A and B are shown apart, each in its own frame.
Chain A
């Protein structure tokens, strides 16, 4: 399709979103390389989910620009919805709620394939089988309704459905947050393998630093709608410069963890950005 095959797949500049007088995000810039994985971390209300929703066209940015494969997709339009969908897809936090409860998993996976013209009935059936195989869903899982699957299986199904569209960018909004830790690891490994196999890029929105450390190359730390620190994931998380990043890291329960000290540091940080 259109767009260049070189250069960053996603380029965001000066993104701003306000709801009335409330500022959700302000001045977010970042670049996502082809096949790369970018983490956006921050506490709830930091604007990371709003950013993700603007990327996929669920929200309209107040200002700024989103370039997807060199193409300006800042303003979502009904006309371009299908074209944008082919480039960028999203996995939601609760996969259960992102399926039509009446449809079986394979029907749900087949639907976007039909919309985006992936061939006749037989070819689509074959593609669905391949996708299910790719994410580790059995034939029985595929024939089941979403409510009969476990959380991990549903998230695999959601990944299969999004991958069928063959997007260049996959936005994962707290995609493993609702899963058990052991299932989280499985899904993260799966995502990692898919990225290597297909060359898709990830935007990983998460509050979980362990997830971000495992799944991303670069990371943005957001607080109150603004990016406070960014850089290589390993570097930012092992040697954080901004006090908020240090606080986030200190907030992770670990041996020698001191909740009281974290709370005190949080209080000390708060007036600084109010002033």
Chain B
């Protein structure tokens, strides 16, 4: 990837992190850890990969994205705001009673949200349905979904994995955000879902393992996914939970906790320094 593009994506990802942190801080509630870990992927998807129209969010031929790990809505909302689907100011209304920015993504209320999610395991199945519909109707749009590593403990993720491979949904690309932590602790201690690569391969998927914070690897992975014409692809993205904010990185406690004023200001300062 060209340096200029990499710098631009890096800047966007940092803006997404700042937007997500602002949303969670404003709400005094939400899920910052997994929002930070997926931010680079989100930046690449919406600013390099996906074909969407900001002025026509429901455009029939658009590529779709399903945030299956719906609790990381702050990352999705910050991305959509960065892209221009709605005003960035709205991020400060996150989780408020009169806001469109529900705690978990609501496709009916929020421009740019392609599927209502939040209950884990359901999103990847809906993404399968979209991909199947595209194939069935001869549409060429692609479907992307972000799945949590903890989420992969849900049986439905594997029902969906079976379905996608069986129906050869090569237009489906899942990203597994392997940040290693879930609410109660490290995934390997709570209920070990690893090894994800061998499991997905056994289910019939094209498997690509990358560093989820390296734009060269991210780009190569999404390009390789498009070259695979007979299988769905899963990009297993090794990430750092809380990425970009020193006190959050790899700390399980930041899965679903909001920063106080001091922590918020420190986090914003650290992120601003990365711009």
Asked if A pairs with B, the answer is no
Interface residues of A (CB under 8 A from B): none
Interface residues of B (CB under 8 A from A): none
